[in-house]
Amino acid sequence: MLASYDSLFIGGEWVRPSSSARIEVTSASTEENIGSVPEAAEADVDASVAAARRAFDDPDGWSQWEPSARAAAMERLAAELEARSDEMALRVSAQNGMPISIATMLEGGFPVVVLRYLAGLLDGATFEEERPGFLGGTNIVRREPIGVVGAIVPWNYPQTLAAFKYGAALAAGCTVVMKPSPETVLDAFLLAEAIEAARIPAGVINIVPGGRELGAYLVAHRDVDKVAFTGSTAAGRRVAETCGRLLRPVTLELGGKSAAIVLEDADLDLAKIGTDLFAATLVNNGQTCYLGTRVLAPRSRYGEVVDTLAAFASSLAVGDALDPATQIGPMASQTHRDRVEGYIAKGASDGARLVVGGGRPRDLDHGWFVEPTVFAEVDNSATIAQEEIFGPVLSVIAYGDVDDAIRIANDTDYGLGGSVWTTDPERGKDVARRVRTGTIGINRYLPDPAAPFGGVKASGIGRELGPDAIGAYQQLKSIYA
């Protein structure tokens, strides 16, 4: 067993849960039980929100700390997470199937980078300014922390996406109640240990593991001031409906069906582009919201693009997530594998040509694996081109000229990521500017802590990361003097 806990982290302490219910954690690679934690109940959410409220409202509480003091605490948390980075990567990889080589870089390393970046923004920061009044006098404009934040984190990048939320919230002066996904809870408890070791004040970050019902309770809680959610578009709509009714600010980072646009002059040499192509289309077993799973290929080079992707997918090492050589691990759960396989069957029945993959690896008797899969002759209106599969499945779609490529890229309900592949970077930037999406890369795709991340259309509301991230957890107050 990888880890087991009997207490919840609420109000800066390890406390007895209000219920005897537990979350049993299963390895995605072996289907064996690897851990167990208490499942939080509504009473635990109440206690967490109350602790967060006290930590926020106290006259000497977190919201009143100078930005430099908050930055120092965030730096301590970054150091504690860095000290636990190997164990964090191991726990995430074992739970959700993320290859350990990727988990080490992202789940082990990226939260540290995010915290240090955001802490650095607080150096010399001031959240109050004076402006001359148009009608005379002076206007004092303050950026004040919004309050208690309910943060709901998914299973695919549990620590990275948690850091996107609590990092900006802490920098702004907010306190947090975080609900991790039941599929990935062991890492959340390691985060709690880091929070305690970093001497983050009691109640500033509280962790309540549970399912959808608990998340809904947190979203609607009367003492929560803002919600930050990452997950499916369907779930995001439900969160948005609740927040809309309550007039509660919300940040939503939702699904995607991004386009990887291969221009006529693109270099298709896998020895040169293979690493970047993997990061942009199949990283984390395809369980990544921004991936360019619709590959748009010019008709003049369509067969070449299909052959390149087939060779690329076939070359990837599929295996146990904890094996350093693995590039494609298992799906996060049996239910999710069933969902991905349903989309593969739908693609074939709708007339797309299955080029490679489409099944389960024959040499793996345990684990929820799906072979890297490439479909050709896909129409952009097809189900596999319009709905998010969230697995290692690519659809190759033909286009005529660049205008046609942009039309197809924008013909989707989503707008989160994307990429343009070309030997002319300036032309690539011109194409990128015309794609309706929140983020897009040229010959690569990798979110950067210094740039806003988020989507348009059904991919969400608001942005995380970048200098703008802190402002998402603040509200403006004007004082007329």
**39, 82, 183, 253: the active-site residue:** 253
CA distance 206 to 9: 6
CA distance 201 to 368: 40
- Burial (CB count <10 Å: 0-12, 13-18, 19+), residue 136: exposed
Check if the beta carbon of residue 208 is closer than 8 Å to that of residue 10: yes
Does the annotation mark 253 as catalytic?
yes
CA distance 36 to 4: 5
- Burial (CB count <10 Å: 0-12, 13-18, 19+), residue 290: buried
Tokens standing for residue 318: 């599929």
**107, 289, 371, 464: the active-site residue:** 289
CA distance 372 to 394: 8
Cα–Cα nearest to 291, from 451, 445, 161 = 445
CA distance 213 to 228: 16
Tokens standing for residue 126: 């001031």
Check if the beta carbon of residue 322 is closer than 8 Å to that of residue 29: yes
Tell me the catalytic residues: 253, 289
